[in-house]
């Protein structure tokens, strides 16, 4: 991280790392990174009030949203780039994202692994299928700080925080843009991280009903094909590989090894299993995330529009006013919040 921040500091005017570590560990990080970045702790006052459950209790907070909003509110410039700690921006990717902010309020690039161990190939097949059928959600965005502050941020009580941000900005009438030709390097997950993400990633799709229905059908369709013999099963596998190969062409054959599409049948089978497990988690109060349970994957456009109307009718003040969440001894946020660089590239 130290060398990355040093390199990043040559391309941006300010870097903020929101560090959810223990105070002792954060002091170590301040000593290591202080020459290139501000290191701050997450601020509960940076997030807006989220809807309450029946009975007045609140759900767990997503530490990523808390970290992102802390960085956004402390940013010194309007052009802000959010990035997870495993993302490795280059000067070119930063420049292109910030350039896009001249015409959009929120910009989404594409992540591509910078190394390809087996778990990256497996998960990379997911990225290729997503790109072939629509879009993939990266661990980095460029945004206008003024826009996000004006809309009051986005809900910290969801699992799929990227989709929540995107929908919140769209519902507020602002411009979003996807740049599939901006490929931002990302470190592959460790094997432990990889396995911990399987059900959680499937849970995200509870916020996308059409996709959820398709993924719930994977196991029944596969079982039916298997009953009819190896040929129908092979046809299904070939279809998955073909779709992933299309995604590889869209992303760029020069950055993805040629065998990654062959992992698509493996990933599809995994998603077929994990989607049912995710649905079971939903029935038991939500998916486990850093020691807590998160119930909502992401709010729908309809829910967000209704919430926005109710807020406009019932809450005095400017559109951009936020309502900080009070500290509550019964409320927890993800303890695994990682350091998040928030950079502001120079024009």
C-alpha distances in angstroms, 171 versus 34, 58, 145, 301? 38, 24, 17, 7
* Residue 219, C-beta contacts closer than 8 angstroms, at least 6 positions apart: 272, 273, 276
Work out the average pLDDT over 113-118.
98
What would the mean pLDDT of 5-18 be, rounded to a whole number? 89
C-alpha 233/C-alpha 226 separation (Å) is 6
Helix (H, G, I), strand (E, B) or coil at 120: helix
Q: What is the pLDDT of residue 268?
A: 98
Residue at 165 is within a domain? yes
191 in any annotated domain = yes
CA distances from 208 to 172, 299, 305 (A): 20, 10, 17
Residue 170 lies in a domain: yes
Structure tokens at 279: 């649905």
CA atoms within 13 A of residue 297's CA, in its CB half-sphere:
21
Is residue 341 assigned to a domain?
no
Residue 127 placed within a domain: yes
Could you count the other beta carbons within 10 Å of the beta carbon of residue 22?
11
Widest pairwise Cα distance in the chain: 65
Where do runs of H (alpha helix) occur along the chain? 2-8, 23-33, 63-74, 91-100, 118-133, 145-150, 161-171, 191-204, 209-216, 218-227, 230-251, 264-283, 301-314
pLDDT at 49: 46
Asked whether the predicted pLDDT for residue 56 surpasses 50, the reply is no
221 pLDDT tier (thresholds 50, 70, 90) = very high
Q: Is residue 8 part of a domain?
A: no
Q: Phi and psi of 256, rounded to 5°?
A: -125, 125
pLDDT computed for residue 314 by the predictor: 60
Distances (CA, A) of 62 to 243, 314, 326, 337: 33, 26, 15, 9
118-133 and 191-204 helices cross at what angle (nearest 10)? 20
Asked if residue 290 has pLDDT above 90, the reply is: no
Whole-number Cα distances in Å, 133 to 104, 114, 243, 248:
23, 23, 8, 12
Cα–Cα distance measured from residue 153 to residue 111, given in angstroms and rounded to the nearest whole number: 23
337 domain residue, yes or no = no
Number of domains in the chain: 1
Q: Rounded to the nearest 10 degrees, how much is the dihedral formed by the CA atoms of 68, 72, 74, 79?
A: 140
**Has residue 116 got a pLDDT over 90?**
yes
Contact 188, 324 (CB under 8 A): no
- Res 234: pLDDT: 96
**pLDDT tens digits for range 243-263:** 999 999 999 999 999 999 999
- Domain range for 170 is 42-321
Tokens representing residue 52 in the block: 């309450």
CB atoms within 10 A of CB 215: 21
Q: Assess if residue 46 is contained within a domain.
A: yes
3-state secondary structure of 126: helix
State the pairing for strand pair 12-18/340-345: antiparallel
Q: Which of 128 and 76 is assigned the larger pLDDT?
A: 128
pTM: 0.85
């Amino acid at each position: 991280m130290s060398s990355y921040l040093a390199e990043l500091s040559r391309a941006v005017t300010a870097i903020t790392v929101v560090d959810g570590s223990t105070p002792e560990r954060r002091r170590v990080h301040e000593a290591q990174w202080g020459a290139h970045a501000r290191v701050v702790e997450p601020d509960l006052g940076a997030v807006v009030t989220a809807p309450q459950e029946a009975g007045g209790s609140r759900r767990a907070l997503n530490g990523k949203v808390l970290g992102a909003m802390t960085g956004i509110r402390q940013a010194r410039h309007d052009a802000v780039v959010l990035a997870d700690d495993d993302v490795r921006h280059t000067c070119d990717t930063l420049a292109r994202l910030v350039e896009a902010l001249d015409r959009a309020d929120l910009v989404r690039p594409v992540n591509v692994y910078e190394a390809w161990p087996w778990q990256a190939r497996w998960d990379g097949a997911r990225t290729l299928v997503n790109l072939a059928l629509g879009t993939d959600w990266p661990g980095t965005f460029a945004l206008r700080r003024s826009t996000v502050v004006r809309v009051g941020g986005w809900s910290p009580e969801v699992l799929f925080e990227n989709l929540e941000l995107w929908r919140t900005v769209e519902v507020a009438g602002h411009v979003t843009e996807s740049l599939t030709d901006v490929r931002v390097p990302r470190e592959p997950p460790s094997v432990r991280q990889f396995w911990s993400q399987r059900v959680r990633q499937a849970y995200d799709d509870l916020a996308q009903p059409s996709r959820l229905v398709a993924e719930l059908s994977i196991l029944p369709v596969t079982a039916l094909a298997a009953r009819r013999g190896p040929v129908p099963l092979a046809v299904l596998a070939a279809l998955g590989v073909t779709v992933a190969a299309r995604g590889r062409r869209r992303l760029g054959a020069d950055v993805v090894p040629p065998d990654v599409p062959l992992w698509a049948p493996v990933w599809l089978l995994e998603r077929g299993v994990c989607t049912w497990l995710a649905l079971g988690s939903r029935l038991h109060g939500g998916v486990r995330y850093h020691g807590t349970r998160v119930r909502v994957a992401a709010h729908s456009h309809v829910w967000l529009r209704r919430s926005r109307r109710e807020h406009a009718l019932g809450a005095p003040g400017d559109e951009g006013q936020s309502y900080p969440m009070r500290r509550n001894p019964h409320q927890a946020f993800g303890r695994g919040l990682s350091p998040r660089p928030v950079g502001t590239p120079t024009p």
